A and B are shown apart, each in its own frame.
Chain A
Amino acid sequence: MTGVIDTVRDIALTVNGEQREGRVPVRLLLSDFLRGHLGLTGTHLGCEHGVCGCCTVLMDGEPIRSCLLFAVQADGHALTTVEGLAPDEGPLHPLQEAFREEHALQCGFCTPGFLITLVSFLQRNPDPSDEQIREALSGNLCRCTGYQNIVRAVKRAVSH
């Protein structure tokens, strides 16, 4: 018996400012495309059903769950992953610095999802209250930190 129907498509998209291409099965998840085909393993998979937020990337500036999109749906779009927040060997993004200062990460697995979510949130809401921060983060699960230091890090980044 041969393989199940597995149509492939060519896609072209921008990822972290760079033009990227691929020939992908139509059922390939965007998260698997980023991690596997493009080797951008900073985006993580915590649930693969859209709840935990570990797979969050920006698509045309908006946070989306890459585990709930197919790679073909990203054709022609511009993505930002955690690797795109700060240049290689360059200084960290202020949010990343703030996370370090406030011990807003422990195992680091959920961290890329939080950073991407926050980068987008803070662009739209540059001076949020604690309540607003917590609500904005309610779509990202963390099992290590209890969120407290993440909230602190956001406030620190905002105030600097």
Chain B
Amino acid sequence: MPTRWFGEPVRRNEDPRFLTGKGNFVDDINPPGAVHAAVLRSSLAHARITRIDVEAARQLDGVLAVWTWEDLGDLWRPSPMVVPHDALTHPKTQYPLAKDKVNYVGEAVALVVATDRYVAEDACDLIEVEYEPLPAITDTEAAVAEGAPLVHEDVPNNVAATLTQQVGDVERAFDEADHVFSERLLIERSAGQPMETRAIAAQWDELERVLTVWDTTQAPLSIRNGLAVLLGLPENAVRVVAPDVGGGFGTKIMMFYPEEVLVPLAAMRLRRPVKWAEDRREHLIASNHERGQVHEASIAVRADGTILGIKDVFLHDTGAYTPYGIVVPIVTSTQLPGPYRLPNYYSESRTVYTNKVPVTPYRGAGRPHGCFVMERLVDLAARELGMDRAEIRFKNFIQPDQFPWDVGLTFQDGAPTRYDSGNYPEGLRIALEHIGYDNFPQKQAELREQGRYLGLGMASYVEGTGIGPYEGAHVRVDGTAQKVIVATCVGTQGQGHQTSFAQIVADELGVRPDQVVITTGDSRSMNWGSGTYASRSAVVTGNAVGAASRTVREKTAQLAAELFEASPADIEFEDERVFVRGSPEFGLPLWDIAVVANPIRYAYGTQAAQAIKLLKNREGPPLPEGTDPGLEARKYFSPAQATFASGNHAAILEVDPQTGIVTILKYVAVHDCGRVINPMIVEGQVHGGVAQGIGGSFYERLVYDQDGQPLSTTFMDYLIPTAMEVPEIECYHVETPSPLNPLGIKGAGEAGVIPVPALMAQALDDALSPWGVRVTEMPLNPGQIRELVRERG
């Protein structure tokens, strides 16, 4: 058994139930008497609603309710603007059900509640909605052009926000540069697509007078807080539980999706538990998307390849509403500089409404976009200057001795974008070594003679992680169960929180991780917190767990010191035992101390009977002044700023210029997330992120026609990479601890996805260099790749 659990690839506590089909996903929860909801959605992208007739639907056998906006009373109001920003001058959030107008295909128009989902869907078919079509605007650039149809009548030019950030004097840098290179870069819409679609179940308990909502959300506390306000209930009368959640990737964090209001309301009004689950088609049509941006970017360099400045003007497609403010364009613009010294930078973005599904963060949340733009510009400069693409990167990297490095921008948390630690050159060096950069040109040349086109790509990024506001953890030693019980209210969607956090506790208290029971995502067990997003749980919750465990350890040591007449500094914790260093016979199981720590009249369990005998006659109160009963603590961690992780990836691919089909032959990911709690879990996160990045490079694209009709409505149109498309990913680590938190950790959740489109673009350029191809758009399907070759003759 290791002396320390932190850093070990501990097998996960959560696996047994998932492996045996005993996971508890929202749609697995079936409160007795539950009825089922279905949502009628707009079939037009932009239209006035002139008539809704629900009578036929209401008459259908088995239908309990059919609601339109009129039935919602006070609750018919726009969702709160959860992430306001000064630059967001024309925010728009959605109503739970549309009234006069719909602004995207999929917008919720009516709610049906029936005895089962089949009947509810039958009823939806019977609802008559009369639409008066309006011109739809789907192209981001066309949306800001003069005379474009307006998504919202009171938002001129469809611009929700204009955000400018700058560092230094970019005009001067461009004047003084030896060269300026420009490029137009495009990233198309795609989406998280967790394997579990969204689901909600709600139940009003008349006896307890509590509303319980099971929701696939990544932020149960935020939903709880919002619902309490919305429904006029005290916070402790609303319990929101995110049980097992089948993947999130950002898609499941929102405040509110309409169903998150409608389903709880239905449960309260109908006094029946109500369930709702979407299928994939509904998810592809109506759950949030991301990634669509158009950039006009330029880089100013000296002849020797030194980067002097960058200008980036971009349009961000936010869809029909701005439910998450302008987080994605903010992250894009602040993370674009990446690992490079960038003394002069100008970023201007306009967030643009279109008649499509709203956009909220998806794994990366703007970092993939920023990385794509930066890396393409660096590659462009390298090519035009005739410089080696690795050399130009090494030349411009922030060096290991230059930290903390202030980028000069404001990050999404309102704090400075100040890199705390990192070693970018080492990361790239390791990536290039393992991808075989030095001998690749020769191999490439040989294979070209055989008519095979291989290319190598690399990309580097920096990722701000672990932002506030804060998270909390509650740790308690349960002496009778002989477990340490921990609660935190971030949600879990596969990240292994029930194991990685357990490792932190295990180290402090001398137990095994499988003796630590972690509850996440239940607002009843932990009242304070924010949610799982932005690669923050390990950093923020992890450190809260660490602080709470340390406090429990201190309390335990204090009590043990009294029992054994020693000093607290001499108390050791090992193998579930708490004892005096050097004299282990003066010790007790941790569990017994927990019992002793609670001086109650009636003690339970065999431990209690033994332990009570240890209590000496004492003077004064059984619970001394200033102490709490038990071995328990609740602590919070609130970071002042993000901590910056980084990575360097490289890959070799083969492309067939005739068919446009790409095969990835080798993939290397070098990752730095500071101190690693569980390397197996971190690598798993990288693998999954890279797979999504591959999807975003070659397979995944959400297509709308010019009338705003979504065309990617099933997995036959929207292609998720399978085991045939994702290669083996070789992971290596660099570890630059974070000086900003006691555990020294940085976030890892989004990392894998960030550099992939950038490096694939470079690899394609490299493979197709005989044609002088230059990739400026992602994703690219085989047809588009063939076109790139063809248009070059």
Contacts and interface: CB of A to CB of B under 8 A. Distances in A.
Interface of A: 1-4, 25, 27-28, 35-36, 39-49, 51-52, 54, 81-83, 85-86, 92, 96, 99-101, 103, 105-112, 115, 133-135, 137-151
Given A1-B60, A111-B19, A115-B19, A103 B12 contact: yes
Can you list the 4 inter-chain pairs with the closest CB atoms, starting with the nearest?
A: A42-B21, A108-B18, A109-B246, A107-B494
B25 A109 contact: yes
A1 B63 CA distance: 11
Given A141-B720, A144-B494, A147-B691, A42 B23 contact: yes
B196 A44 contact: yes
Contact of A47 (B30, B56, B280, B689): B280
Given A100-B15, A111-B18, A106 B688 contact: yes
Contacts of A138: 722-724
B403 interface: no
Contacts of B197: 45-46
Nearest to B277: A45
The prevalent SS among residues of A at the interface is loop
A3 B194 contact: no
B681 interface: yes
B722 A141 contact: yes
A108 B494 contact: yes
A46 B280 CA distance: 6
B222 interface: no
Contact of B18 (A39, A81, A105): A105
B244 A108 contact: yes
B118 A106 contact: no
Interface in B226-271: 244-247, 249
B493 interface: yes
Nearest to A99: B19
Contact of B196 (A36, A41, A49, A109): A109
Given A41-B28, A107-B194, A149-B687, A52 B726 contact: no
Interface of B: 9, 11-12, 14-23, 25, 27-28, 30, 56, 59-62, 118-119, 122, 126, 192-197, 244-247, 249, 277, 279-281, 493-496, 680-681, 683-684, 687-692, 714-716, 720, 722-724, 726, 728-729, 752
A47 B723 contact: no
A44 B246 contact: yes
Given A46-B196, A109-B23, A149-B687, A137 B723 contact: yes
A46 B362 CA distance: 19
Contacts of B691: 143, 145-147
A146 B684 CA distance: 8
Contacts of B195: 44, 46, 52, 54, 107, 109-110, 141-144
Contacts of B60: 1-3
A49 B244 contact: no
B689 to A, nearest CB: 8
Residue of B15, B247, B681, B692 ringed by the most chain A CB atoms within 10 A: B15
A146 B23 contact: no
Contacts of B15: 99-100, 105, 108
A111 B20 CA distance: 9
Contacts, number: 194
Nearest to B694: A146
Contacts of B25: 41, 44, 109
Contacts of B752: 146
A32 to B, nearest CB: 8
B205 to A, nearest CB: 22
Contacts of B715: 47, 49, 51-52, 141
Given A44-B246, A135-B724, A51 B716 contact: yes
29 contacts: A3-B119, A39-B30, A41-B27, A49-B280, A52-B195, A52-B720, A83-B20, A105-B18, A105-B494, A106-B494, A106-B496, A107-B245, A107-B247, A108-B14, A108-B23, A109-B25, A109-B246, A110-B246, A115-B19, A135-B723, A135-B724, A139-B722, A143-B193, A146-B688, A146-B691, A147-B722, A148-B728, A149-B684, A150-B723
Given A100-B15, A144-B688, A47 B20 contact: no
A46 B722 CA distance: 14
A47 B279 contact: yes
Contact of B194 (A86, A140, A143): A143
A69 to B, nearest CB: 16
Nearest to B691: A146
B716 A49 contact: yes
Contact of B690 (A111, A135, A146): A146
A85 B20 contact: yes
A28 B118 contact: yes
A4 B554 CA distance: 67
B714 A47 contact: yes
Contacts of B246: 44, 107-110
B116 to A, nearest CB: 8
Contacts of A103: 9, 11-12, 680-681, 683-684
Given A106-B496, A108-B244, A147 B27 contact: no
Nearest to A130: B728
Contacts of A44: 25, 195-196, 246
Contacts of B716: 49, 51
A111 B12 CA distance: 15
B23 A92 contact: no
Contacts of B683: 103
Interface centre among A28, A42, A51, A107 (most CB of B within 10 A): A107
Contacts of A133: 723
A9 B230 CA distance: 45
B721 to A, nearest CB: 8
Contact of A96 (B12, B19, B687, B726): B19
A145 B145 CA distance: 42
B21 A43 contact: yes
Q: Indicate the member of A47, A105, A135 with the most B CB atoms within 10 Å.
A: A47
A73 B724 CA distance: 32
Contact of A145 (B23, B122, B495, B684): B684
B20 A151 contact: no
Contacts of B14: 108
Contacts of A39: 30
B54 to A, nearest CB: 13
Nearest to B117: A32
B37 to A, nearest CB: 15
